[in-house]
Structure 1
Amino acid sequence: MADPSSPQPPRESTPSLPSSLSQKRALPDGAHSPAVPSPLNPEGKSQKVQFQPPAEEGTTMGREKRTKRESLKKRESKGITGPDSSRASPASKPKEQPGEMAPLRYKLAPPKTTDFDLSRGPVFTSHHEVQDPDGSRAIEFYETSDHVYNKKNFHYTHCIADPTFPSMFYYRNTEPEPYGAHLSFEDAASYMYFDQQGTHVTSDKGFRMARANVAVREGRWYWECKVTRGILKQRNEGDPESHGHIRLGFARREASLDAPVGFDAYSYGIRDKSGQKIHMSRPKEFFPEGEDIKEGDVIGLEIQLPSERLHRKIVQGHYNPAVDLVAEEEGHHPDGVIEYPNIVRDRIPIRFKAHIYFEKIDYHTTKELDELMNPSSAPNTSSEPPHPNHPSPPLRTLPNSYIKIYKNGKLMGTPFTDLLAFLPPASRMVHNLPAGGSAGAGLLGGREALDDGSVGYYPAVSVFRGGAVECNFGPDFWCPPSELSQEQTQGKDVVMAEGDGGQKPDGKEKKPRAVAERYDEQIVEDILYDIVDEVGFWSLGLGLGLGRGGNKDEKLAGTGLAMPPGGGREEIKELVQDD
């Protein structure tokens, strides 16, 4: 090897090219721009390359030096869309602060006459019948059609036209039949079959899940299930071990519908086989050895969550257990101020097979909880176990929260405590979706930590290859907890607690409330939030669908509102979806 310190021989000079040969020259920026518009080239102008003499310092090819344009991905991450978005001055696009966000508003054409019709549920087509475990009745299961399924990244709820909401694009939330708490036909995986009341569910496919149409956000709540088809209680010679399998529990919005309850970090479940508890696909022993959940068994599920006031302190990083936990147990507010949730619902009406739905961006899985479920060798935030003051909001837990399990009225124990927090920013919305992919695509940059009122723990059921379950959300239960059954033996009706989310003012626990009551609360909340949104738009001078000064094409700077590019009033889009 040559000594680097030794002198090197002189290099021969490169011969110059003949003057008759043209030398390669650098092409200016944009020389290869396509002649047709594209997301990265909104103007769609082709440029001809011409040789120009060397430019002076500070210019490029005789032109003024261009300001570098940001990429489409970077612009969408800032919530900026449209062909001229990269050229807009920062002053015209103020950055929204978490406490200043308002719902996105769209300019739509007035509703059609049919949009005022009552919302309708799915079309039911008979699929098959099964016998009740005791043989007393036949349960008919139906295939549901002509309704939208919650697809990945989007969530759908029914809406109806209402002329009393002209500023809020003329539509408000509504509910179709059957009225009351039940398993949601929309918020379920495909190939699941229901009865017409939404209380029975089954499937002839692999494990998949259905969530209820109500979510628990605070307090103490109870519901129960009866196993219609599952592990056989009595077997004769030649009988199979089971008619299918089931899992029961609670699931958040982020939990996958194409997987069983307890598959990921967003749900907690109980298996019928051996009565094991399961979370993040890790089954652990819970029931006594040799005891299964079999056909005819009634499984009760109780959940307790802290108040939303304490929950918000935890996810915002302001939780002090020495002060806040004591105040929570005593049932008073340390600062004397009652704080209400800031609900912001970004949504737009969508037409699907003569139905009108609100389409909303849904919540998505987070990297922190994915790493918690599948830890890697590389250092990450999940190396520290979840706790209320964890540096990462998705890994913060709720003190004094739990899930209890009952079997035929008998308390089996508490398989889960310190449940993971779900209020934003512990839950995050999908944002920066591909442009043109849907109505809300590309409009949520910087708005992923919104609470739209749909987050919470939902009662959830999973079924596998013939397994079937009947749900009872109350208020009349088959096998209520012992504290309630005592009232029944004394000749009193079994009435669940009512009022303030299951907590007494003096901090003592109330009896659990029936999940059916949560349905009524959600209806009241929807009405309230619709009125608040309408009044909010009017207070900003946006009555009758006009911007300030009556300019319909105005970009409303500083209000947190956004209009679709191009101006004008657009018709409701038709949603195309495979059943």
Structure 2
Amino acid sequence: MSTGTASPAREATPPGSNSLSIPTKRALDDDHQPAVSSPLNPDFKSKDNAPLAHERASRTKKESLKKRESKAGSLAPDTSARATPDPKASTSKSKKTESDLAPIRYKLPPPKSTDFEAPRGPIFIPAHAKIAPDGTSVQFNETTDHVYNKKNFHYTHCIADPAFPSSLYYRQSESEPFNPRLNFEDTSTHMFLDEGGRHITTDKGFRMAKGNVCVREGRFYWECKITSGIPKRKHSDAHAGPDNGHVRMGWARREATLDAPVGFDAYSYGLRDVRGQKVHMSRPKDFFPPGEDIREGDVIGLEINLPSESLHRKVVEGQYNPAVDLADEGNTSIERADIIRDRVPIRFKAHLYFEQIEYHSCKELEELMNPSPVVSSSGGFGAGQEPGPTHLVPALRTLPYSSIKVYKNGQLMGTPFTDLLAFLPPASKPLPQVGAREGLDDGMLGYYPAVSVFRGGAAEVNFGPDFWYPPPGFEDQDDEVDMIGNDQPATKTLELNKLRAVGERYDEQIVEDIVYDIVDEVDFWMQDGGVSGKGVANGVRASGVSVHNDLAGGLLDSSEIKELVQEDD
């Protein structure tokens, strides 16, 4: 449960009052009355017993009820900030009901015959070519006929499948090329990529692209090679040409904006090519030795280390105790957390996508990036407290034993970042709007490989396993885990400590998506009475929540899936 909720609105100052007027003296017996009872004042009598206090409490309750009624009795779930509390419901919010742990179900028309065709990738329009430092030519293309993860929504490919009738025939899928790469949907506009999704550049200002794989726990590594950037020249060479653009690389969460470089906000950690500085929340700090840059042809390796999801959930749920949790024992629980994906199929230029409300930046992290003197001086909720694993605000809690290491051409340069910010709910929240439900994990929260390019800068990503500069010990640990039986607890810790190629997450994510789809299908099938197809035509919804959204479709009652119109900026 998030403790970082906004405080109630302050009551207006009564007319005629003057904050500068001299207050009247209180009665003598109230001058030094303690605020709470204690053994030293057994005769303590709370001021709340006074009739005036009763009147204030009644008036405050009436006003809060009026505010709730003014919100038109939203039927959003209890986890939503817009929800109107049910007086018959339990006052405890720590226990989620069965409907809270089920995905939203929509009424959809029968799928078209073309909906059963395999998803297609973008159309590539040749733009220009660049010569890499090794002499090879890279053809960059403009990508079109695909949707971008913007407008506060997240998109994944889907396909109609007759094996999923209770889920209204739609399940998640992938498009070519079927390998770990940069995500065509998870890039900013006006960027150019090769058909393999490994090379990227732009002729605009700083823009970001993320990989199609994310890391949620364990140690993972990937590489970024500078194709076009700071030339290989000496600082004293005054006749050398200008820089060929710039590149930044790092790790970014789902909430990190795509129209800015890596390290722009609190949701990403980046490395600058200029002087090799580390960047977080737009604050560059020296990291590489003096005079060291990241130049054309250099390969930067980025390793991330995240604790187990069991420890992660302890942190975000406020159960982490540094005096007790002295080490990460791995995933100690057999049961994994529920993965809930509220999504609806939409059509975009003959393509089918699942659309779901995106996780959004929160005010606490925005305040952390740009501190307000007013908020800091007022001593608001958690104000002035540095991020940490036991912070009062879940979004400002950090992960113990987490870090990012940086390598340059195979040489370890150091660890620029430690204690990374947590990302599991309630540390991550969806954009507050109709249909959004807080506290739910859709299985794709985590840290993504990210690269940013600026005005001609170009880079190539390598998600492994054949790295240009494998990190020390990477090729000598394949059989390390097999030495211990799978039934021993030590195996879980070794698996987390094993350094892996981030590309391995691609196949794992596909397996996870298949499992989540099957779980949803069985869930809906049981709600239909255990008979496949029963109740589907009536549009029965698992959550019982009535929502409508212009893009997400809401409770679709038309004869056609809504078509998304998305213009390039």
Q: Which of 355, 358, 362 is the matching residue for 2:358?
A: 362
CA distance in 1, matches of 2:564, 2:547: 20
Distance change >3 Å, CA 73–CA 463, structure 1 → 2: farther
CA distance in 2, matches of 1:497, 1:195: 37
CA distance in 1, matches of 2:242, 2:474: 35
The answer (yes or no) to whether the contact 2:105–2:541 under 8 Å persists in 1 is no
CA distance in 2, matches of 1:431, 1:578: 23
Distance change >3 Å, CA 226–CA 167, structure 1 → 2: same
CA distance in 2, matches of 1:369, 1:418: 15
User: SS state of the match for residue 573, structure 1?
Assistant: coil
Report the alpha carbon displacement of residue 210 of structure 1 after superposing the two structures with TM: 0.4
**Residue of structure 1 equivalent to 2:181:** 182
Report the alpha carbon displacement of residue 238 of structure 1 after superposing the two structures with TM: 3.9
Report the alpha carbon displacement of residue 297 of structure 1 after superposing the two structures with TM: 0.3
**Residue of structure 2 equivalent to 1:130:** 130
Code of the aligned partner of 2:123:
V
CA distance in 1, matches of 2:383, 2:500: 34
Code of the aligned partner of 2:455:
R
**Residue of structure 2 equivalent to 1:218:** 217
**Residue of structure 2 equivalent to 1:171:** 170
Report the alpha carbon displacement of residue 341 of structure 1 after superposing the two structures with TM: 1.9
Per-residue deviation, residues 69-119 of structure 1 (Å, max 9, x unmatched) = 966745348459xxxx99x99779999953632100011111000000110
Is 1:116–2:116 an aligned residue pair? yes
Code of the aligned partner of 2:307:
P
CA distance in 2, matches of 1:426, 1:109: 36
CA distance in 1, matches of 2:440, 2:165: 24
**Residue of structure 1 equivalent to 2:58:** none
**Equivalences for 1:134-149 in 2 at 5 Å?**
134-135=134-135, 137-149=136-148
Report the alpha carbon displacement of residue 208 of structure 1 after superposing the two structures with TM: 0.6
**Residue of structure 1 equivalent to 2:252:** 251
**Residue of structure 2 equivalent to 1:522:** 509
CA distance in 2, matches of 1:484, 1:535: 40
Determine what percentage of the aligned residue pairs are the same residue: 58
**Equivalences for 1:405-444 in 2 at 5 Å?**
405-432=406-433, 442-444=434-436
Code of the aligned partner of 1:365:
S
Is 1:390–2:376 an aligned residue pair? no
CA distance in 1, matches of 2:133, 2:480: 31
The answer (yes or no) to whether the contact 1:404–1:416 under 8 Å persists in 2 is yes
CA distance in 1, matches of 2:525, 2:180: 33
**Residue of structure 2 equivalent to 1:400:** 401
Give the structure-1-normalised TM-score.
0.77
The answer (yes or no) to whether the contact 1:396–1:420 under 8 Å persists in 2 is yes
Report the alpha carbon displacement of residue 315 of structure 1 after superposing the two structures with TM: 0.3
CA distance in 1, matches of 2:316, 2:491: 24
**Residue of structure 2 equivalent to 1:9:** none
**Residue of structure 1 equivalent to 2:33:** none
CA distance in 1, matches of 2:368, 2:261: 18
Larger-Rg structure: 1
Is 1:505–2:491 an aligned residue pair? yes
Give the structure-2-normalised TM-score.
0.78
Is 1:451–2:422 an aligned residue pair? no
Code of the aligned partner of 1:210:
A
User: SS state of the match for residue 367, structure 2?
Assistant: helix
The answer (yes or no) to whether the contact 2:270–2:279 under 8 Å persists in 1 is yes
User: SS state of the match for residue 460, structure 2?
Assistant: strand
Distance change >3 Å, CA 271–CA 68, structure 1 → 2: closer
Distance change >3 Å, CA 317–CA 425, structure 1 → 2: same
Distance change >3 Å, CA 68–CA 132, structure 1 → 2: closer
CA distance in 2, matches of 1:212, 1:566: 32
**Residue of structure 2 equivalent to 1:575:** 564
Pairwise CA RMSD: 3.0
Distance change >3 Å, CA 287–CA 504, structure 1 → 2: farther
Code of the aligned partner of 1:75:
G
Per-residue deviation, residues 100-152 of structure 1 (Å, max 9, x unmatched) = 321000111110000001100000000000001122x1100000000011113
CA distance in 1, matches of 2:481, 2:120: 30
Report the alpha carbon displacement of residue 552 of structure 1 after superposing the two structures with TM: 2.1
Unaligned runs of 5+ in 1: 1-66, 433-441, 488-493
Is 1:151–2:150 an aligned residue pair? yes
| Most deviating of 380-389 and 180-189 | 380-389
Report the alpha carbon displacement of residue 239 of structure 1 after superposing the two structures with TM: 3.2
The answer (yes or no) to whether the contact 1:372–1:382 under 8 Å persists in 2 is no
Q: Which of 452, 469, 473 is the matching residue for 2:463?
A: 473
User: SS state of the match for residue 467, structure 2?
Assistant: coil
CA distance in 2, matches of 1:251, 1:323: 30
The answer (yes or no) to whether the contact 1:393–1:425 under 8 Å persists in 2 is yes
Report the alpha carbon displacement of residue 461 of structure 1 after superposing the two structures with TM: 0.3
Q: Which of 527, 552, 567 is the matching residue for 1:540?
A: 527
CA distance in 2, matches of 1:200, 1:210: 11
**Residue of structure 1 equivalent to 2:43:** none
| Most deviating of 375-384 and 566-575 | 566-575
Distance change >3 Å, CA 164–CA 256, structure 1 → 2: same
Q: Which of 372, 393, 414 is the matching residue for 1:376?
A: 372
The answer (yes or no) to whether the contact 1:476–1:495 under 8 Å persists in 2 is no
Distance change >3 Å, CA 117–CA 94, structure 1 → 2: farther
The answer (yes or no) to whether the contact 1:103–1:560 under 8 Å persists in 2 is no
Distance change >3 Å, CA 288–CA 400, structure 1 → 2: same
User: SS state of the match for residue 315, structure 2?
Assistant: helix
Unaligned runs of 5+ in 2: 1-64, 549-553
The answer (yes or no) to whether the contact 2:364–2:395 under 8 Å persists in 1 is yes
Code of the aligned partner of 2:248:
R
CA distance in 2, matches of 1:566, 1:341: 27
